[in-house]
Amino acid sequence: MSILRTEKLTKNFGAMTAVSEVDFEVEEKTLHAIIGPNGAGKTTFLRLICGEIQPSSGRIIFRNRDITGKPSYHIAHLGIGMSFQKTNILPKLTTWENVWLAAFSMNKAWSHFLRNSSRLESIRERAESVIVKVGLQESMKKRANELPHHEQRLLEIAMALALSPTLLLLDEPTSGMAREEIPAMVELIEGLKKDYTILMIEHNMEIVMSISDTISVMYFGKLIAQGPPKQIQNDERVRQAYLGS
């Protein structure tokens, strides 16, 4: 069963078309990777889904609900969380404060919420849970700008998880990480597959081929191929457009 689909989704920036009439579908409880060369439109596509930018035309359907043009905060409340390629953390707040605020932001009635200690306790438990899940418990009291790059990436994911999403969008989660730091991130993502549907952009082909259920390939804003890893490896269009052979 699909959790997300797009219909002729298009985004123009002036005369440039970054995403061009993309028909796309993500099956529930799978890890779906998007690959393609730089400038293929991958990040723009994710930004359209999470509501950070608005489409020029087309539709976005999440859990059979049309979310086209909805603002990002509304889409987050519906169950879509995103970890950005460029970290979107609050640098002067601690790890704990960043995650707590993300969890707190999901409350719909803040004025009443502040008088309800049981709800505050549930937010605390949620924040602690996701911090432990990503392995940042030793850095809870550190300010975000004091964390090394790979821990900032983990914090970004923790903040997305604090939103209690059903669909998790990951934009190049291993970007900028040292080789020895990557296996821990891959292990985390594989663990998250058990509980979330994941839509991920990633340039590391070894990672993509080893953990993805389905791979979509974008090229100059268009979707040119989609299928399981072995099929994508053997697709001549993908070899020409992306793999360079």
* pLDDT score, position 144: 96
Beta bridge partners of 225: 217
Q: What is the pLDDT of residues 169-186, one digit of tens each?
A: 999 999 999 999 999 999
Rounded-to-integer distance, Cα 50 and Cα 172, Å: 15
Q: Where are the alpha helices (DSSP H) in 11-51?
A: 42-49
The answer to whether the predicted template modeling score (pTM) of the entire model surpasses 0.75 is: yes
Q: Could you identify the residue written with the tokens 């306790």?
A: 121
Q: What is the pLDDT of residues 56-98, one digit of tens each?
A: 999 999 999 999 999 999 999 999 999 987 667 899 999 999 9
Residue type, 32: H
* pLDDT score, position 230: 95
Ramachandran class of 201: left when φ > 0, alpha when ψ lies in -120 to 50, beta otherwise: beta
Ranges of residues in the chain with a pLDDT under 70 are: 86-87, 108-118, 242-245
What token pair was written down for 31? 């890890």
* pLDDT score, position 31: 98
Domain spans of the chain, in order of start: 1-79+165-245, 86-164
Task: Pick 1-79+165-245's CATH classification: 1.10.260.30, 3.20.20.70, 3.40.718.10, 3.40.50.300.
Answer: 3.40.50.300
Residue type, 177: M
What token pair was written down for 123? 């937010």
Rounded-to-integer distance, Cα 107 and Cα 123, Å: 9
Are residues 126 and 178 in contact, defined by beta-carbon separation less than 8 angstroms? no
* pLDDT score, position 92: 95
